[in-house]
């Protein structure tokens, strides 16, 4: 992936910072990197990590994806957009539904329209496993966002632009995720377990960035890229972090699933498998869907998944052990982590 002029919405979040760090490391001569986000303090803090004296190509834009005019101003001269801005806390979305819709759905449409109007060439939007067969509002808004970005390829006309989506599971160590929560709670001697049967997919920030880089480089337009990643059991995470703590079962929160899914059995009808990914192929031309599947299989060197396939964290074939979880925490979350 060789972006020359890049904009990332939600650029001060966990993903955004790692993505910018990676781009600056791999593409030191990138012409411009625009960080578009709402929080001036987070932008100030990020500017200390990436000072202008060393990274003159960085630009910080205060703005909200709800504001299409501000997005269009920020996208002037931009050729590549990564859309990472979202309201993603499940309980918050349930309590403030339309605020979530404004950002995750209307904001997505604003990114699409601004990209089309500004001469952008490539757009990748971040999704979530909660968008597959959603049962909470956050997941429903992200499914709607996914549909908007996939369908945007139908209205590009003569614009030389490709829209695609990357969908993955829980990011290890990200804000609000279970690992930092458990690491903080272990000092109390008690780790609350929602349900001992609960499983989740696991991906590192670095792997998430790699997925987006891959989509930017290889997308034909309209794909939903899903990584082949391991699952973990919530009890194993608790054991890895604090084996001596009590683990009371407190029940799942509203809108939570026991297992997450990234490719549903219905999605499987238009899904191909490659070495590292599943790719949900767009149904752009319903009469020629078989032809479209062949085209995307050739492009991505993949084959259709078998009938009845689904990709579910509880039925995964790859699992993280307690020792592997501890090693990943030391590598990606806290190098000083020890079991005490």
Give the span between the Cα atoms of 253 and 250, in whole angstroms.
9
Check residue 286 and give its pLDDT: 56
pLDDT in tens, 14-23: 999 999 999 9
Q: Which of 70-74, 197-201, 255-259 has the lowest mean pLDDT?
A: 255-259
pLDDT given at position 28? 78
Residue 176 has pLDDT above 80, yes or no: no
The pLDDT assigned to 285 comes to 57
pLDDT of residue 175: 72
> Is residue 336 assigned to a domain?
no
Q: Could you report the per-residue pLDDT of 326-335, keeping only the tens digit for each?
A: 999 999 989 9
pLDDT value of position 106: 98
Residues 169-189, mean pLDDT to the nearest whole number: 86
- Residue 97 to residue 88: CA distance in whole angstroms: 11
**Whole-number pLDDT of residue 38:** 96
Domain that holds residue 145: 5-169+203-228+261-312
Measured CA to CA, the distance from residue 316 to residue 331 in angstroms comes to: 23
Q: What is the predicted pLDDT for the residue at 165?
A: 98
Query: What three-state secondary structure class fits 310?
Result: coil
Among 20, 217, 60, 215, which residue's Cα sits nearest to residue 127?
215
Q: For 177-192, what is the mean pLDDT?
A: 90
Evaluate whether residue 156 is within a structural domain. Answer: yes
Neighbours of 171 (CB within 10 A): 22
Q: pTM, whole model, 2 decimals?
A: 0.94
What distance in Å separates the CA atoms of residue 224 and residue 206, rounded to the nearest whole number?
19
Strand duo 170-171 + 224-227: pairing: unpaired
Contact 10, 84 (CB under 8 A): yes
**In the predicted model, what is the mean pLDDT of residues 105-128?**
97
Interatomic CA distance for residues 203 and 332, integer angstroms = 10
Q: Residue 289's pLDDT band (boundaries 50, 70, 90)?
A: confident
Under the banding of pLDDT at 50, 70 and 90, the label for residue 68 is very high
| Percent of residues, the chain, with pLDDT higher than 70 | 97
Cα separation, 4 vs 228, whole angstroms: 29
pLDDT, average across residues 141-168 = 95
Mean pLDDT of the chain: 93
Q: Which residue has the tokens 């909470």?
A: 136
Read off the pLDDT of each residue in 266-295 and give the average, rounded to a whole number. 87
How many Cβ atoms sit within 10 Å of the Cβ of residue 244? 9
Q: Does 182 map to a domain?
A: no
Residue 256 lies in a domain: no
Number of domains composing the chain = 1
Structure tokens at 143: 């499914």
Locate 79 and state its tokens. Answer: 């050729």
User: Greater confidence, 156 or 305?
Assistant: 305
pLDDT at 291: 85
| Cα 271 to Cα 267: distance, rounded to the nearest angstrom | 6
Does residue 8 have a pLDDT over 60? yes
Mean pLDDT (whole number) for 77-103? 95
Is residue 113 domain-resident?
yes
CB 10 within 8 A of CB 82: no
For residues 192 and 248, the answer to whether their CB atoms sit within 8 Å is yes
CATH of the domain at 16: 3.40.50.720
Q: Report whether pLDDT(2) > 60.
A: no
SS3 assignment, position 108? helix
Q: What's residue 160's pLDDT?
A: 92
pLDDT in tens, 316-329: 999 999 999 999 99
Query: How far is 116 from 48, CA to CA, in rounded Å?
Result: 33
Reported as a pLDDT band with limits 50, 70 and 90, residue 27 is confident
22 phi and psi, to 5 degrees? -70, -45
Distance of CA 24 to the CA centre of its chain: 20
Active site residue 18: no
In percent, the amount of the chain with pLDDT more than 90 equals 84
Given the residues 130, 247, 257, 276, the one annotated as active site: 130
Overall average pLDDT of the 213-241 stretch? 96
Does any domain span residue 142?
A: yes
pLDDT band at residue 292 under the 50/70/90 scheme:
confident
The CB-side HSE value for 75 (13 A sphere, CA atoms) comes to 29
Residue 246 covered by a domain: no
What is the three-class DSSP state of 90?
helix
Say what the pLDDT of residue 157 is. 85
The one-character DSSP state at 203 is: E
Q: State the average pLDDT over residues 84-92.
A: 92
pLDDT at 246 over 70: yes
């Amino acid at each position: 992936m060789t972006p020359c002029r890049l904009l990332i919405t939600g650029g001060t979040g966990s993903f955004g910072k790692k993505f910018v760090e990676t781009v600056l490391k791999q593409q030191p001569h990138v012409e411009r990197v625009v960080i578009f986000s709402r929080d001036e303090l987070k932008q100030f803090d990020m500017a200390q990590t990436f000072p202008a004296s060393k990274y003159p190509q960085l630009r910080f834009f205060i703005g909200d994806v709800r504001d299409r005019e501000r997005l269009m101003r920020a996208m002037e001269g931009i050729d590549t957009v990564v859309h990472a801005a979202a309201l993603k806390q499940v309980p918050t979305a349930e309590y403030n539904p339309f605020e979530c819709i404004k950002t995750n759905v209307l904001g997505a449409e604003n990114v699409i329209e601004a990209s089309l109007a500004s001469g952008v060439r490539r757009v990748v939007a971040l999704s979530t496993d909660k968008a597959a067969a959603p049962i909470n509002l956050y997941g429903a808004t992200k499914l709607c966002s996914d549909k908007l970005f996939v369908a945007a390829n139908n209205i590009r006309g003569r614009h030389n632009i490709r829209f695609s989506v990357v969908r993955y599971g829980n990011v290890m160590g990200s804000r609000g995720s279970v690992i930092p929560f458990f690491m903080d709670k272990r000092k109390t001697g008690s780790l609350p377990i929602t349900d001992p049967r609960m499983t989740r997919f696991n991906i590192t920030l670095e792997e998430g960035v790699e997925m987006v880089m891959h989509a930017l480089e290889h997308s034909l337009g309209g794909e939903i890229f899903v990584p082949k990643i391991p699952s973990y059991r919530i009890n194993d995470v608790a054991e890895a972090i604090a084996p001596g703590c009590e683990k009371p079962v407190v029940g799942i929160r509203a809108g939570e699933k026991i297992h997450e899914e990234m490719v549903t059995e219905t999605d499987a009808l238009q899904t191909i498998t490659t070495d590292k990914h599943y790719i949900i192929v767009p149904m752009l031309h319903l009469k020629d869907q078989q032809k479209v599947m062949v085209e995307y299989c050739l492009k991505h060197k993949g084959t259709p998944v078998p009938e009845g396939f689904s990709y579910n964290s509880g039925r995964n074939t790859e699992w993280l052990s307690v020792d592997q979880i501890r090693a990943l925490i030391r590598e990606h979350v806290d190098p000083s982590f020890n079991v005490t």
